[in-house]
Amino acid sequence: MVPKPPTNRRRFYPATTPHAGAAFLSSVANLGIPTGLMTRASVKIVASIGAALALAGCESGLRSIDRATTEKLRESAEAMGGGAIYPEVDATRYESGSYFPDFPENVDRPPTANPPADDLSFTPIPQAQEDADSIAQRFRKMAEGDPNAKLFTFDDAVAYSIEHADEYLTAEEAYLIIAIRLLIEEHRWTPLPANVTSLNFANDGTNGRFNNALSIVNDLGVAQRLPFGGEVSASFVVAATQQLDNYLANTDTQSADIVLEAAIPLLRGFGDVALEPLIQQRRNLVYAAREFEQFRRDFFFDLANDYLGLVLQLQGIANGERQVERSAAVEERTKALVESGRTEPFQADLATQNTLFALDRLTTQREAYRLSVDRFKARLGMPVDTPIEIEPTRFNLPVPMIDPEKALDLAFRYRLDLQTWRDLVDDFSRKVDVARNNLLGDLDLLLANNLPTDPTQAQSGLDFTPGDNEFSASLVFSMPLDRVTEDLQLRQAQILLEQSKRQYFQRRDDAAVQVRQAARGIETSQFSLVIQEKNVQAAMNRQAAIDAAPDRATARDRTEAVDQLRRAQDSLDNARKNLQVAILRYLNTTGQMRISPNGRLVPPKGMDVGEEMGPGIIDTSP
């Protein structure tokens, strides 16, 4: 296993923010109320409320948010079933940010490195030194590889990509973002505390003198949205005014109020439509769970395809090396025949030319392989300068018996993307209902109750007087005189619903085409494999016939036989690779592919999981 690259990430621990209870205690303490105006009992009540709010807020901060997000992801993955997994929030991956950032002076003008041509240098190789031998020597040195390279299997590739691949991390974060959006929406449906403290200074000139007063109002409240529409709220308001000079009589005041309010819609916004934002976010999390699981399957298929492509290139290089050896042998034999006078001199040149062509093709193959390995490492999130050696292991998955009708039925039932497109039709149908509800008029029931302290006392502390309680109730109706915008939104929602239906059926048709193509791909690959096996056998028979009677074959015959054998071997290797890819594509296209948490294929019932299937691809855990 290739070791993980070192990271420079710091661990950030988010600072806790002030709680509503702490802010309330602080604001009460700074009201400027004389100590004697607040009884011991009232102080205990305020302290108890503040302490309770402070304890309730101890779990606030990003760490509790991360735990809540992970729990949402766990619930969504377990609800989907099928061994679906979920990512966990890694707080060390993200920047902590700053409350008061100090940006660089030229933050609005990022520098650009683009020097003129005169500042650049170019050192050419002397033409006399750049001959074919020196170039070939450099290529041979590059082909030797790094002696410190570690053997890299497909299992290593999958495990490494799960930890470091950019596209895998991006898919995880997309899943996380949907869970965070759900938490944001759910938070809006919980009791929301708020504490607002206002400080006002006023002066009023009287006969050349000024009446200076300082007033402080602290409003501590909580609001709760109702599941059928509307909102209820409760607030505790403390107001105090203190004179700052003695020119007029002392008119310091202090009072408190407990205010209860409710606003309930009876027409527009009433009923299940009020919960639509919450419903949609919860459904979005289900869609995100499906999308992430489908991504893992697609990602596994893509990695397998890329890895088998690298193995195929390695096999092509091996075939090319054997071709160079055979071509060199043909060249040497032909030169011997020319020297003995048994063949024309141009035959030696023909054999030499074929050897040079073979060497050039081999060099091109090696360079293409190195480029493919670098791209593969980049996709895995591995530094491209990390030396690895790809293990040339082929998969040997068994060929499934395919019933086209059953394959279509499996795809329509189990493909996660089709399930999401089907459910999106329901989403747009609900949006039509919400748009229809918006056409109604507004009929709201407004309730309010105010429990004040004793109004006869200038400084009443927390001495509430139920006899001065004020209650009001009202019905407010607004006629739907202008609903042009809402009418347009309804028509838009109806059109989007019809589009979603067509898109769903289009996706089903596309899935049917993909399933049929995948099934035919297996049959085509099997047929090609049989053909190429016969092709290799024919090429080997031709080579054996030439070796048995070398004097009857020309240089052209021998070089063509070598070329045909290499082509046949390359085609056979490619056919084997295409068959394995076609089997994986069929499993994925029909919704039967399952990937374990460690990134291995979980075989469906009936699939043989013997050792011959290839290491690192099948999950054999119970």
Q: What confidence tens digit (pLDDT) does each residue in 64-120 have?
A: 888 899 999 999 999 988 888 898 888 888 888 888 888 888 898 999 999 999 999
Residue pair 343/552 in contact by the 8 Å Cβ criterion: no
Q: How far apart are CA 371 and CA 391, in angstroms?
A: 17
Q: pLDDT category, 205, cuts 50, 70, 90?
A: low
Residue type, 93: R
Lowest mean pLDDT among 3-17, 300-314, 503-517: 3-17
Edge-to-edge strand list for the sheet holding 470-478: 192-206, 209-225, 231-243, 253-265, 442-452, 470-478
Which pLDDT tens digit goes with each residue over 478-525? 999 999 999 999 999 999 999 999 999 999 999 999 999 999 999 999
pLDDT above 70: residue 342: yes
Give the 3-state secondary structure of residue 395: coil
Best CA proximity match to 354, nearest among 396, 386, 323: 323
Lowest mean pLDDT among 163-177, 258-272, 302-316, 348-362: 348-362
- According to DSSP H, which parts of 549-622 are helical? 555-589
Q: How far apart are CA 309 and CA 372, in angstroms?
A: 9
pLDDT of amino acid 45 = 43
pLDDT, averaged across the chain: 84
Best CA proximity match to 163, nearest among 395, 372, 1, 315: 1
Q: pLDDT category, 388, cuts 50, 70, 90?
A: very high
List the chain domain ranges: 404-434+486-613
Q: How far apart are CA 77 and CA 73, in angstroms?
A: 6
Q: pLDDT category, 40, cuts 50, 70, 90?
A: very low
Q: Residues 547-564: what's their mean pLDDT?
A: 82
Best CA proximity match to 140, nearest among 363, 310, 430, 349: 363
Greater confidence, 34 or 300? 300
Q: How far apart are CA 354 and CA 177, in angstroms?
A: 59
Q: Residues 533-537: what's their mean pLDDT?
A: 95
Query: How is residue 120 written in tokens?
Result: 């650049």
pLDDT above 80: residue 546: yes
Which of 1.20.1600.10, 3.90.1150.220, 3.40.50.300, 3.90.226.10 would CATH assign to domain 404-434+486-613? 1.20.1600.10
Q: Which residues contact 369 (CB under 8 A, 6 or more apart)?
A: 310, 313, 314, 317
Give the start-end residues of each E strand in 2-113: none
pLDDT of amino acid 97 = 84
DSSP string, 226-290: -TTS-EEEEEEEEEEEEESSSSSPP--EEEEEEEEEEEEESSTT-SGGGGHHHHHHHHHHHHHHH
pLDDT above 80: residue 1: no
Q: Residues 602-610: what's their mean pLDDT?
A: 77
Best mean pLDDT range from 211-220, 308-317, 345-354, 386-395 = 308-317
CA angle 78, 83, 85 (to 5 degrees): 70
Q: Residues 584-610: what's their mean pLDDT?
A: 88
* Percentage of the residues of the chain whose pLDDT score is greater than 90: 56
Q: Which residues on neighbouring strands pair with residue 239, listed in sequence order? A: 217, 255
pLDDT above 90: residue 428: yes
pLDDT above 70: residue 136: no
Q: pLDDT category, 128, cuts 50, 70, 90?
A: low
Which pLDDT tens digit goes with each residue over 240-260? 887 666 555 567 788 899 999
Regarding beta strands 192-206 and 209-225, do their DSSP bridges make them parallel or antiparallel, or are they unpaired?
A: antiparallel
